[in-house]
């Protein structure tokens, strides 16, 4: 079944503009997919509408993911540093829609777990790797999802170095990184140095 | 990783918290499940993951697109070709590149063989978990034949990396077709044999019927896809609903269940294997001749013989293997129906030769969430059956 369209636009975009007006910030079409940039504070209402409206019927939560745009040099969809992209699917028309919300460091995105139980794991993954806090699905103190509990920092942020993990050797007695245990990754960039003597020969 | 006592708050008074895994043969990898028990009944259950986290998504931001391919095999290592295909489709969507029909058909053959291999490992280990030892040997033997086919095609048994953006790394080798047909003819009787051992076996049914039931609405709400959703009665298969790589050319059914329990998932996956055989037969029968990869020299290397005669080809070859290709600025998402469910890649390109953001939609991670829901109120012995029926691969969950 073809996706429902209103003229040149997807039905979802038209409906959201009618119902929420300003909260729909931008509609982008790229490579055959539709991206709807929406206001972070209205996210719950918008997703509830998409899910419950019998004509849209976005019942299947596919995933959500984060993107760090701090080193992006081109035109942006949203002004904030991070984007959380929600991928929802309607099994009525087998149509897919991407919702984007922007969020800066320290701001919170409302959690979708009350609407979709399955949002729990992807949200915690984004939280673990980007440090984006989901309101309502917050981590308990010192709790990580994919990373060890004592890990410091958020590895998928662009400033986080690749291969900069300090390796501890026997019993904290000796080894390249023992002096750095208290302050791992203290502002040092390992970019381009991985595997060379510069990393371990400090 | 958190200690067992701190994973969640104890809810009952006379309950016991039991840790299972990460080094446990029935958790299919390094999954750790912490259960709160009242007697033998599970009150609460939580999965602890991350023991296999290798930061592939970070690593990919530092690699050229063609070098990311080998990481995709190592995510879901049982369904390597499916991952390669999803990644290739996403990059091709960014590049706007079309693959010739022969390439698409060969991709379908490889992906469906991978699905067969993955389902065979699933049934073998699932049976082993529940005490059925015999199917293991029959099914692993069949899987071995599939891996031999992969070896013949690509030189590698488990991680072929043969499906790359722009097509395939090479054409189908001579003699492959005959060997594939031989395998397909011998495979179905073997599958019948194993299925007959289990399908009406009272012990098997005792352990699986009505265990871990999930309704269709629950499955969608949990983000479950693939055989789990289909066993619950959701008629959703990306190969049918949003066809890619010429799946619209093939005639196959989408098996669905009605109860959504462990037994239904067993039936659905078995039926899926038969449908896969049907698809492979149609693909090999109707395999078109002609090119098997795109002719765009910016994406795929020129044929070997051109290198000796054409300076331009030599430059293309050199540029491709030193610098790679530059997709236009933008983002793309492409999903395939993997053996575990919807398997997609979301790639953001900033116009350079490396992805700006490279993300896999892990089907096993979202399916794993179902365990926490399904295990509640069941006996501890059922957890093993439920984990087996979800068919998780920790390489994909942790990445």
* pLDDT at residue B347, rounded to an integer: 93
CB contact under 8 A, A62 and B359: no
Q: Which of A31, A59, A162 is opposite residue B220, by nearest beta carbon? A: A59
Predicted complex ipTM exceeds 0.90? no
CB contact under 8 A, A62 and B93: no
CB contact under 8 A, B366 and A156: no
* pLDDT at residue A199, rounded to an integer: 42
Q: Which of A65, A94, A148 is opposite residue B1, by nearest beta carbon? A: A148
* Structural domains in chain A, sorted by start: 5-135 (3.30.460.80), 161-202 (no CATH)
According to DSSP, residue A172 is labeled G
CATH architecture of B56-374: Orthogonal Bundle (1.10)
Q: Is B356 helix (H, G, I), strand (E, B) or coil?
A: strand
> Strand A60-68 relative to strand B355-361: parallel, antiparallel, unpaired?
unpaired
CB contact under 8 A, B365 and A62: no
* pLDDT at residue A170, rounded to an integer: 52
Query: Maximum CA pair distance of chain B?
Result: 81
B206 to chain A, minimum CA–CA distance in Å? 29
Q: Pick the residue from chain B with its C-alpha nearest to A1.
A: B241
Mean pLDDT of chain B: 89
In the predicted structure, residue B283 carries a pLDDT above the cut 60: yes
Using a CB–CB cutoff of 8 Å, tell me whether B361 touches chain A: yes
B349 to chain A, minimum CA–CA distance in Å? 10
pLDDT digits (tens, 9 = 90+) for B86-112: 999 999 999 988 899 999 999 999 999
Contact B1, B33 (CB under 8 A): no
Candidate from A144-158, B151-165, B310-324 with smallest mean pLDDT: A144-158
Using a CB–CB cutoff of 8 Å, tell me whether B49 touches chain A: yes
CA atoms within 13 A on the CB side of B16: 8
* Burial status of residue B329 (CB atoms within 10 A of its CB: 0-12, 13-18, 19 or more): middle
Residue whose C-alpha is closest to residue B396's, from B357, B358, B360, B342: B360
Contact B152, B176 (CB under 8 A): yes
Domain ranges in chain B are: 56-374
Chain A residues with CB-CB distance to B55 below 8 A: 155
A7 to chain B, minimum CA–CA distance in Å? 22
pLDDT digits (tens, 9 = 90+) for A104-129: 988 889 998 888 988 989 998 998 88
A41 to chain B, minimum CA–CA distance in Å? 22
B204 to chain A, minimum CA–CA distance in Å? 30
Residue whose C-alpha is closest to residue A157's, from A166, A149, A147: A147
Q: Which of B55, B220, B224 is opposite residue A155, by nearest beta carbon? A: B55
B352 to chain A, minimum CA–CA distance in Å? 11
List, in sequence order, every beta strand (DSSP E) within chain B: 16-20, 32-38, 41-48, 163-164, 167-168, 330-337, 342-349, 355-361
Task: Give chain B's length.
Answer: 399
Which pairs count as long-range contacts for A146-151, CB under 8 Å and 24+ apart, including other chains? Answer: A146/B49, A146/B50, A146/B53, A146/B398, A146/B399, A147/B50, A147/B53, A148/B1, A148/B50, A149/B1, A149/B2
pLDDT digits (tens, 9 = 90+) for B53-64: 888 888 888 888
* pLDDT at residue B217, rounded to an integer: 87
pLDDT digits (tens, 9 = 90+) for B287-298: 998 888 888 888
Rounded to whole angstroms, how far apart are CA atoms A23 and A17? 8
Using a CB–CB cutoff of 8 Å, tell me whether B350 touches chain A: yes
pLDDT digits (tens, 9 = 90+) for B329-354: 999 999 999 899 899 999 999 888 88
Percent of chain A with pLDDT over 90: 9
Q: Which of A31, A144, A148 is opposite residue B330, by nearest beta carbon? A: A31
CB contact under 8 A, B224 and A118: yes
The mean per-residue pLDDT over the stretch B210-235 comes to 89
Chain B residues with CB-CB distance to A51 below 8 A: none
Using a CB–CB cutoff of 8 Å, tell me whether B369 touches chain A: yes
Task: Give chain A's length.
Answer: 202
In the predicted structure, residue B132 carries a pLDDT above the cut 70: yes
The string of DSSP letters for B308-326 reads TT-HHHHHHHHHHHHT---
* pLDDT at residue A182, rounded to an integer: 46
| Residue B14 or B282, more confident | B282
Using a CB–CB cutoff of 8 Å, tell me whether B45 touches chain A: no
* pLDDT at residue B183, rounded to an integer: 92
In the predicted structure, residue A202 carries a pLDDT above the cut 50: no
The mean per-residue pLDDT over the stretch B314-323 comes to 89
* pLDDT at residue A193, rounded to an integer: 47
Cβ of B20: how many Cβ atoms within 10 Å?
Answer: 19
CB contact under 8 A, B223 and A145: no
Q: Which of B2, B55, B350 is opposite residue A73, by nearest beta carbon? A: B350
How would residue A187 be classed by pLDDT, with cut points 50, 70 and 90? very low
Q: Is B97 helix (H, G, I), strand (E, B) or coil?
A: coil
Q: Pick the residue from chain B with its C-alpha nearest to A163.
A: B59
* pLDDT at residue B114, rounded to an integer: 93
Q: Which of B1, B217, B361 is opposite residue A63, by nearest beta carbon? A: B361
| Residue A148 or B81, more confident | B81
Q: Pick the residue from chain B with its C-alpha nearest to A63.
A: B361
Mean pLDDT of chain A: 78
In the predicted structure, residue B241 carries a pLDDT above the cut 80: yes
Rounded to whole angstroms, how far apart are CA atoms B217 and B62? 40
Q: Which of A61, A73, A148 is opposite residue B223, by nearest beta carbon? A: A61
* Burial status of residue B285 (CB atoms within 10 A of its CB: 0-12, 13-18, 19 or more): exposed
Q: What angle do CA A198, B323, B360 make, to 5 degrees?
A: 80
pLDDT digits (tens, 9 = 90+) for B372-392: 888 888 888 888 889 888 888
CB contact under 8 A, B236 and A91: yes
Tell me which of A2, A96, A118, A164 to substitute to probe the interface with B (most B C-beta atoms closer than 10 Å).
A118
Contact B47, B31 (CB under 8 A): yes
Using a CB–CB cutoff of 8 Å, tell me whether B357 touches chain A: yes
């Amino acid at each position: 079944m073809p996706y429902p369209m209103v003229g040149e636009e997807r039905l979802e975009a038209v409906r959201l503009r009618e119902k929420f007006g300003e909260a729909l910030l931008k509609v982008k079409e790229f490579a055959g997919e539709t991206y709807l940039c929406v206001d972070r504070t209205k996210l719950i209402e918008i997703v509830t509408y998409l899910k419950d409206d019998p004509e849209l019927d976005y019942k299947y939560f596919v995933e959500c993911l984060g993107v760090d745009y701090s080193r992006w040099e081109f035109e942006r969809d949203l002004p904030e540093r991070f984007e959380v992209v929600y991928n929802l699917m309607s099994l009525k028309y087998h149509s897919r829609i991407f919702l984007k919300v922007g969020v800066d460091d320290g701001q919170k995105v409302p959690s979708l777990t009350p609407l979709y139980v399955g949002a729990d794991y992807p949200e915690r993954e984004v939280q673990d790797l980007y440090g984006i806090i989901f309101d309502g699905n917050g981590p308990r103190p010192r709790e990580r999802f994919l990373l060890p509990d004592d890990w410091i920092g958020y590895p998928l942020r662009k400033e986080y170095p690749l291969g900069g993990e300090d390796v501890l050797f026997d019993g904290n007695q000796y080894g390249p990184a023992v002096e750095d245990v208290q302050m791992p990754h203290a502002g040092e960039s390992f970019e381009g140095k991985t595997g060379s003597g510069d990393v371990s020969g400090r | 990783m958190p200690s067992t006592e701190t994973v969640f708050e104890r809810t009952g008074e006379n309950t016991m918290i039991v840790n299972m895994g990460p080094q446990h043969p029935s958790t299919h990898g390094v999954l750790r499940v912490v259960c709160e028990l009242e007697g033998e009944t599970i009150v609460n259950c939580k999965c602890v993951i991350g023991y296999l986290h290798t930061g592939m998504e970070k690593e990919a931001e530092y690699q050229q697109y063609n070098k990311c391919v080998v990481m995709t095999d190592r995510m879901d290592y049982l369904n390597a070709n499916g991952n390669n295909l999803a990644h290739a489709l996403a990059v091709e969507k960014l590049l706007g590149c079309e693959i010739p029909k022969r390439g698409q058909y060969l991709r379908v053959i490889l992906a469906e063989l991978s699905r067969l291999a993955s389902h065979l490992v699933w049934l073998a280990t699932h049976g082993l978990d529940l005490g059925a030892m015999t199917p293991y040997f029959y099914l692993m033997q069949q899987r071995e034949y599939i891996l031999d086919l992969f070896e013949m095609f690509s030189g590698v048994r488990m991680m072929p990396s043969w499906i790359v953006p722009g097509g395939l790394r090479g054409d189908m080798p001579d003699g492959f077709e005959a060997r594939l047909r031989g395998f397909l003819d011998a495979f179905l009787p073997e599958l019948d044999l194993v299925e007959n051992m289990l399908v009406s076996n009272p012990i098997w049914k005792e352990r699986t019927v009505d265990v871990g039931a999930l309704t269709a609405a629950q499955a969608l709400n949990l983000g479950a896809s693939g055989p789990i959703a289909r066993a619950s009665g959701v008629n959703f298969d990306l190969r049918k609903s949003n066809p890619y790589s010429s799946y619209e050319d093939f005639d196959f059914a989408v098996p669905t269940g009605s109860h959504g329990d462990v037994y239904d998932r067993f039936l659905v996956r078995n039926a899926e294997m038969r449908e896969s055989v049907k698809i492979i037969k149609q693909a090999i029968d109707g395999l078109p001749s002609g090119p098997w990869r795109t002719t765009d020299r910016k994406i795929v290397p020129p044929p070997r013989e051109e290198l000796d005669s054409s300076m331009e080809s030599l430059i293309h070859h050199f540029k491709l293997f030193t610098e790679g290709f530059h997709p236009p600025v933008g983002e793309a998402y492409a999903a395939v129906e993997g053996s575990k469910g919807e398997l997609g890649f979301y790639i953001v390109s900033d116009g350079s030769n490396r992805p700006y953001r490279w993300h896999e939609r892990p089907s096993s991670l979202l399916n794993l969430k179902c365990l926490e829901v399904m295990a509640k109120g069941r006996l501890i012995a059922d957890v093993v059956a439920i984990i087996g029926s979800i068919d998780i691969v920790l390489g994909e969950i942790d990445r």
